[in-house]
Amino acid sequence: MKLKLKVCGMKYPGNVRDVARLAPDYIGFIFYERSRRFVGDEFEMPKIPLTVKKIGVFVNAEAGNVLRKVKMHKLDLVQLHGLETAEYCEKVSKSVKIIKSFGIDEEFDFSVLKKYDEFCDYYLFDAKSKEFGGTGTQFDWKILKKYKGKKPFFISGGIGPEDVEKIKQLKSQIPILYGADVNSKFETEIALKDINKIEQFKDELSG
């Protein structure tokens, strides 16, 4: 299975449409008020092709609010990027597919994922941080060799245009790697993505 591309942290309608024309697999929109890429309360979802799946990113949000946003914006998946419990995921999973995010470091215990397996469709592994949301830095991907689960996962955190071969190598070592989540290293300013960089990265990732 080819590596999927997720472009996250988008908010400007014209930029969203331009990225969508490149046909990434997923586009992510952040509904966390403390993020610099928060879409805002008045956000209206731009019209994009159905083949590009829309992800809403939430952090410790009330489940009812998450599901309202799912319905309002016709989200295909939600990415839960906080301290959401397996019980919380069970509730939300009845209405929408879930990507559950975990901050990774040398001490991370992958066995904690077992209780989430039934309710989550994918995991996302990012650099561990005291703050919720992306750090813009990479963790040591060698840690992922400790992951023995069967749930496909995204890698995230500080991925840049120069990381294509490194990602492909990781995929060859860990076939269950599902996709790459890119954000800040592909921006000209906060939440505004560089179309040329993303196009080249997508072509090289799938090539």
pLDDT band for position 136 (cuts 50, 70, 90): confident
pTM above 0.85, yes or no: yes
CB 158 within 8 A of CB 182: no
Residues 6 or more apart whose Cβ sits within 8 Å of residue 127: 103, 104, 105, 135, 137, 138, 139, 157, 158
The mean pLDDT value of the chain amounts to: 96
CA–CA separation, 179 and 167 (whole Å): 9
- DSSP states along 67-112: HHHHHHHT-SEEEE-S---HHHHHHHHTTSEEEEEEEE-TT--GGG
pLDDT of residue 135: 65
pLDDT of residue 83: 95
**What does each C-alpha distance from 44 to 12, 13, 71, 98 come to in angstroms?**
10, 8, 13, 22
pLDDT of residue 61: 97
CA–CA separation, 189 and 91 (whole Å): 36
* Token output for 29: 């929109």
What CATH architecture applies to the domain 4-206?
Alpha-Beta Barrel (3.20)
pLDDT of residue 137: 85
Sorted by where each begins, the domain ranges of the chain are 4-206
Residue 132: is its pLDDT beyond 70? no
Residue 157: is its pLDDT beyond 90? yes
